[in-house]
């Protein structure tokens, strides 16, 4: 039993971090009032750029470059949704599509391979897991404190609930939101970079395989709070680990199809048990326009 | 570009209800602009009529969406056509001649005597999406290709349609028979199809795994579909033959494109004590190999067995061997038959005997290596001689007894 638990925990520690970073990112953006379904695309940018940068510099530095790439992609989202007030969902989806194509295109253009970049040095580990794993459990607390205990956090949350109030106080809603979206992109980029520098030792053309959407789901499941989103991400990873562990240790216990659906069934059960009214920020998805009351 | 910029800036000035549409339109325009930029840059490297060596027959090949450089299925098919048959290599947009040494470096030792150069002119068209298959094949026919090759089961529909529309042309379909609307195999007078007996190759690597491991081996499959079950059945039978006491732990990731899933299930199998793990999981397999590589770096004596092509280059110190599908041989054989005038239709099934599947050379060291390899080779000879019938599904596996 102890052995089983140890292996479950180890599996969660490996699988949860990218999801946690991306879910934190999504939370930041949405708390400021900007829907971010472009997390998937920002993760892809982070994964690709970190792997390419790691060819030329130490991997930890490359991860930072990957975060910058995520933020760069997020800046497109910020300009489209905040400055130009385009539809936030459409912009996010467009980013996903463009990044999907751009990643494959650059892979072929730079490395003439449709499948992956050359291998790189992996991120160093500590106590059997990559350093990012430990960061993934420290960062949620920091983001939580920043959102709830600082003036900036209060303003960001207000921008997502009642931007008029923020504007009346003389704070610029657009810049607040832009800052949150950029931070969101950097976190999503970090999540992507973990995939290409810690999970694998190169960028593989399918990355991040829907993890970005999982992260958005984790954010909703976690009721738009950093700690909630982290708990949800860990829960998803745990469901996955449980399925994998059951699959090999008790073959035939249940059909593979049911096993593969297990994490989602678990999620449905938890949602049904904890079901309450939605906790979405009131001004989420509404572009800030000072002339509209 | 200017009009687009105007459209983009307009959307925050448009008052009233029109604004919503303007926003959506501008986002779509931005997307179109970006994709135009990438489309322009892409260029068409494999454009027909590109600089090619002067030669006789024109042989065309359509890749599946994996395309050139997938280090697997498509590259193998391209090797059969470009390196083995046409003695050429494709580099920055055109073909150059291979020297004899370069060419023989691409051919495995056991086939060296058999694979002779054939005077053909290659014409390769890459597919970027499913919708490309049919027009690409038709393009080859229109360019006057004596043989058009469809690489991969995904091209089944396209090959069937184009072959019916062009009864005068010849086609080769790899990895699938031609199927009618009910999914039953049919044969067309101008199509040769080749499928592989993956179970036989999997049996051999299973036999090797059984000899190398003491009591636990693992199998990681992608989606749980009949093709992958074939790998599993053959692998289990192989382990059962050489190490009846060993248990085989099996995991399916449910995908072919998720590296993380592959790594996670492998970490679980390693945790449970598997010593050798065989994967048939497409891109998930990259995660499988990665997990084993990391376990070895942490000091565990575990191995992984690759699939489709020799995957040793991905982790030279962890990949014990690979179950190789010789797509290159199938392609070369079809071209050789074409040149000799003996190309006929029909459904070929290539197993160990025909050289369609094989075990990649074992370069790693482990205890009793010579003896183990001898045993595996003896099993190989018995399969080739028809003394062992390798199970290809669960039912056959249940009734399989090693002898």
Q: How confident is the model at residue B28, as a pLDDT?
A: 53
Nearest beta carbon to residue A199 from set B218, B257, B259 = B259
Residue A6 makes CB contacts below 8 A (sequence gap 6+) with: none
Q: Is the pLDDT of residue B33 over 90?
A: no
Region A208-216 average pLDDT: 91
Return the residue of A nearest to B92 by Cα: A112
Contacts of B259 in chain A (CB under 8 A): 195, 199-200, 204, 206-207, 209
Indicate yes or no: CB of A98 within 8 angstroms of CB of B259. Answer: no
Nearest beta carbon to residue A15 from set B9, B42, B260 = B260
**ipTM for this model:** 0.84
Q: How confident is the model at residue B27, as a pLDDT?
A: 54
Contacts of B272 in chain A (CB under 8 A): 7, 248-249
Averaged pLDDT score across all residues of chain B: 85
Identify the weakest region by mean pLDDT among A75-79, A215-219, B222-226: B222-226
Chain A, chain B: beta-carbon pairs less than 8 Å apart: 137
Contacts of B263 in chain A (CB under 8 A): 14, 199-200
Closest to B19 (Cα-Cα) out of A36, A124, A87, A200: A87
Indicate yes or no: CB of B259 within 8 angstroms of CB of A207. Answer: yes
Contacts of B35 in chain A (CB under 8 A): 98, 101
Structure confidence by residue, pLDDT tens digits, A186-198: 999 999 999 999 9
Indicate yes or no: CB of B68 within 8 angstroms of CB of A114. Answer: yes
Indicate yes or no: CB of B290 within 8 angstroms of CB of A200. Answer: yes
Indicate yes or no: CB of A114 within 8 angstroms of CB of B70. Answer: yes
The answer to whether B50 and B94 have CB atoms below 8 angstroms apart is: yes
Indicate yes or no: CB of A248 within 8 angstroms of CB of B268. Answer: yes
Structure confidence by residue, pLDDT tens digits, A90-110: 999 999 999 999 998 998 889
Alpha carbon of A180: minimum distance to chain B alpha carbons (Å): 21
Identify the weakest region by mean pLDDT among A157-161, B92-96, B163-167, B352-356: B92-96
Structure confidence by residue, pLDDT tens digits, B282-296: 888 999 999 999 999
Q: How confident is the model at residue B29, as a pLDDT?
A: 54
Contacts of B271 in chain A (CB under 8 A): 7, 10
B387 burial (CB, 10 Å; 0-12 / 13-18 / 19+) is exposed
Q: Measured between alpha carbons, how far apart are the two ends of chain B, in Å?
A: 73
Which strand (E) or helix (H) includes residue B195?
Answer: strand B191-196
For residue A114, name the pLDDT band (cuts at 50, 70, 90): confident
Contacts of A109 in chain B (CB under 8 A): 41
Contacts of B224 in chain A (CB under 8 A): 256-257
Q: How confident is the model at residue A293, as a pLDDT?
A: 62
Closest to A263 (Cα-Cα) out of A60, A88, A11: A11
For residue A79, name the pLDDT band (cuts at 50, 70, 90): very high
Q: How confident is the model at residue B26, as a pLDDT?
A: 54
Q: How confident is the model at residue B207, as a pLDDT?
A: 96
Q: Which site among B260, B282, B295 would you substitute to test the A interface, given the most A Cβ atoms closer than 10 Å to its Cβ?
A: B260
Alpha carbon of A211: minimum distance to chain B alpha carbons (Å): 10
Q: Is the pLDDT of residue B3 over 70?
A: no
Nearest beta carbon to residue B23 from set A86, A257, A260 = A86
Q: Which phi and psi (to 5°) does residue B194 adopt?
A: -130, 125
β-sheet bridge partners, residue B61: B124, B149
Alpha carbon of B210: minimum distance to chain A alpha carbons (Å): 18
Q: How confident is the model at residue A188, as a pLDDT?
A: 97
Identify the weakest region by mean pLDDT among A2-6, A138-142, B253-257: A2-6
Q: Which phi and psi (to 5°) does residue A129 adopt?
A: -135, 155
Q: How confident is the model at residue A292, as a pLDDT?
A: 75
Cα–Cα distance measured from residue A290 to residue A280, given in angstroms and rounded to the nearest whole number: 22
Q: Is the pLDDT of residue B48 over 80?
A: no
Indicate yes or no: CB of A15 within 8 angstroms of CB of B19. Answer: no
Nearest beta carbon to residue A199 from set B224, B260, B271 = B260
For residue A206, name the pLDDT band (cuts at 50, 70, 90): confident
Cα–Cα distance measured from residue A64 to residue B108, given in angstroms and rounded to the nearest whole number: 44
The residue with greater pLDDT, A240 or B48, is: A240
Give per-residue burial for B34-73: e unless 16+ CB within 10 Å, then b. Answer: bbeeeeeeeeeebebeeebbebebbbbbbbbbbbbbbbbb
Nearest beta carbon to residue A14 from set B38, B251, B267 = B267
Structure confidence by residue, pLDDT tens digits, B159-207: 999 999 999 999 999 998 998 888 888 999 999 999 999 999 999 999 9
Nearest beta carbon to residue A206 from set B30, B249, B258 = B258
Percentage of residues of chain B with pLDDT beyond 70: 86
Region B275-283 average pLDDT: 92
Cα–Cα distance measured from residue B389 to residue B403, given in angstroms and rounded to the nearest whole number: 11
β-sheet bridge partners, residue B88: B97
Q: How confident is the model at residue A243, as a pLDDT?
A: 85
Indicate yes or no: CB of A113 within 8 angstroms of CB of B69. Answer: yes
Region B30-40 average pLDDT: 50
Alpha carbon of A146: minimum distance to chain B alpha carbons (Å): 31
Cα–Cα distance measured from residue B27 to residue B19, given in angstroms and rounded to the nearest whole number: 12
Q: How confident is the model at residue B1, as a pLDDT?
A: 40
Structure confidence by residue, pLDDT tens digits, A262-286: 877 877 887 777 766 668 888 898 8
pTM of the model as a whole: 0.81
Q: Which phi and psi (to 5°) does residue B5 adopt?
A: -60, -40
A259-to-A45, A229, A245 alpha-carbon distances in Å: 32, 24, 10
Contacts of A244 in chain B (CB under 8 A): 251, 264-265, 268
Pick the CATH number of A2-274 from 3.90.1690, 1.10.3470, 3.30.160, 3.30.420: 1.10.3470
Q: How many helices, marked H, and strands, marked E, lie in chain A? A: 11, 2
Contacts of A199 in chain B (CB under 8 A): 259-260, 263, 287, 290
Q: Is the pLDDT of residue B389 over 50?
A: yes
Indicate yes or no: CB of A90 within 8 angstroms of CB of B27. Answer: yes
For residue B238, name the pLDDT band (cuts at 50, 70, 90): very high
Q: Which domains, and CATH codes, for chain B?
A: 2-42 (no CATH), 57-196 (3.40.50.2300), 199-324+367-398 (3.40.50.2300)
Cα–Cα distance measured from residue B284 to residue B243, given in angstroms and rounded to the nearest whole number: 27
Averaged pLDDT score across all residues of chain A: 90
Indicate yes or no: CB of A98 within 8 angstroms of CB of B31. Answer: yes
Closest to B325 (Cα-Cα) out of B254, B184, B230, B238: B230
Q: How confident is the model at residue B258, as a pLDDT?
A: 86
Structure confidence by residue, pLDDT tens digits, A221-257: 898 999 999 999 999 999 888 888 888 777 777 777 7
Indicate yes or no: CB of B250 within 8 angstroms of CB of A248. Answer: yes
For residue B31, name the pLDDT band (cuts at 50, 70, 90): low
Query: Reduced to 3 states, what is the DSSP secondary structure of residue A204?
Result: strand
């Amino acid at each position: 039993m102890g052995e089983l638990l140890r292996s479950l925990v180890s599996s969660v520690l490996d699988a949860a971090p990218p999801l946690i970073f991306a879910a934190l990112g999504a939370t930041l953006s949405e708390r400021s009032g900007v829907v971010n379904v472009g997390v998937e695309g920002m993760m892809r940018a982070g994964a690709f750029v970190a792997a390419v940068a790691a060819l030329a510099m130490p991997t930890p530095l490359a991860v930072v470059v990957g975060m910058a790439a995520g933020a760069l992609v997020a800046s497109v989202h910020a300009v489209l949704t905040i400055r130009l007030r385009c539809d936030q969902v459409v912009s996010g989806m467009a980013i996903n599509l463009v990044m999907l194509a751009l990643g494959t295109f650059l892979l072929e253009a730079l490395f003439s391979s449709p499948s992956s970049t050359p291998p790189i040095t992996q991120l160093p580990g500590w106590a059997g897991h990559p350093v990012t794993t430990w960061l993934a459990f420290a960062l949620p607390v920091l983001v939580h404190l920043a959102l709830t205990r600082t003036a900036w956090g209060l303003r960001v949350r207000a921008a997502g609930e009642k931007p008029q109030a923020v504007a009346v106080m003389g704070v610029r809603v657009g810049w607040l939101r832009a800052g949150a979206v950029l931070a969101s992109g950097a976190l999503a980029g970090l999540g992507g970079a973990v995939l290409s520098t810690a999970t694998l030792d190169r960028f593989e053309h399918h990355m991040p395989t829907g993890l970005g959407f999982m992260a958005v789901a984790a954010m909703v499941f976690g009721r738009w709070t950093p700690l909630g989103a982290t708990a949800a991400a860990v829960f998803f990873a745990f469901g996955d680990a449980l399925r994998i562990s059951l699959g090999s240790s008790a073959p035939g216990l249940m059909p593979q199809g049911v096993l593969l659906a297990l994490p989602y069934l678990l999620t449905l059960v938890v949602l049904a048990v904890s079901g309450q009214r939605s906790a979405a920020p009131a001004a989420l998805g509404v572009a800030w326009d000072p002339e509209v009351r | 570009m200017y009009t687009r910029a105007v459209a983009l800036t307009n959307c925050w000035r448009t008052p009233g209800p029109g604004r919503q549409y303007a926003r959506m339109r501008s986002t779509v325009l931005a997307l179109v602009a970006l994709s135009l930029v990438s489309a322009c840059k892409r260029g068409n490297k494999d454009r027909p009529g590109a600089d090619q060596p002067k030669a006789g027959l024109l042989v065309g090949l359509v890749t599946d969406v994996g395309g050139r450089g997938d280090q697997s299925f498509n590259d193998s098919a391209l090797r059969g056509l470009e390196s083995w048959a046409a003695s050429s290599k494709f580099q920055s947009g055109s073909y150059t001649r291979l020297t004899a040494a370069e060419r023989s470096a691409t051919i495995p030792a056991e086939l060296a005597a058999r694979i002779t150069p054939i005077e053909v002119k290659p014409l390769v068209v890459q597919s970027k999406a499913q919708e490309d298959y049919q027009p690409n094949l038709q393009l080859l026919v229109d360019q006057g290709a004596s043989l058009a090759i469809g690489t991969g089961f995904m091209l089944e529909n396209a090959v069937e349609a184009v072959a019916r529309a062009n009864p005068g042309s010849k086609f080769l379909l790899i990895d699938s028979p031609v199927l009618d609307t009910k999914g039953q195999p049919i044969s067309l007078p101008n199509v040769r199809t080749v499928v592989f007996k993956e179970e036989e190759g999997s049996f051999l690597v299973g036999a090797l795994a059984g000899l190398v491991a003491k009591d636990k081996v693992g199998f990681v499959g992608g989606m749980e579909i009949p093709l992958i079950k074939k790998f599993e059945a053959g692998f289990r039978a192989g382990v059962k033959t050489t190490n009846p006491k060993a248990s085989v732990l099996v995991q399916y990731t449910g995908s072919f494109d998720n590296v993380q899933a592959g790594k996670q299930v492998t970490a679980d199998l390693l945790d449970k004590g598997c010593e050798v793990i065989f994967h048939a999981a497409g891109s998930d397999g990259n995660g499988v190999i990665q997990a084993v590589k990391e376990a070895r770096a942490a000091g565990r004596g575990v191995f992984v067995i690759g699939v489709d092509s020799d995957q040793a280059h991905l982790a030279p110190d962890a990949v014990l061997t690979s179950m190789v599908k010789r797509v290159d041989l199938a392609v070369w054989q079809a071209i050789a038959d074409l040149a000799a005038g003996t190309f006929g239709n029909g459904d070929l099934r290539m197993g160990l005997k025909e050289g369609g599947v094989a075990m990649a050379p074992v370069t790693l060291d482990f205890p009793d290596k010579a003896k183990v390899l001898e045993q595996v080779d003896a099993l190989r000879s018995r399969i080739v001689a028809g003394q062992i019938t390798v199970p290809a599904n669960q039912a056959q596996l249940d009734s399989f007894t090693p002898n």
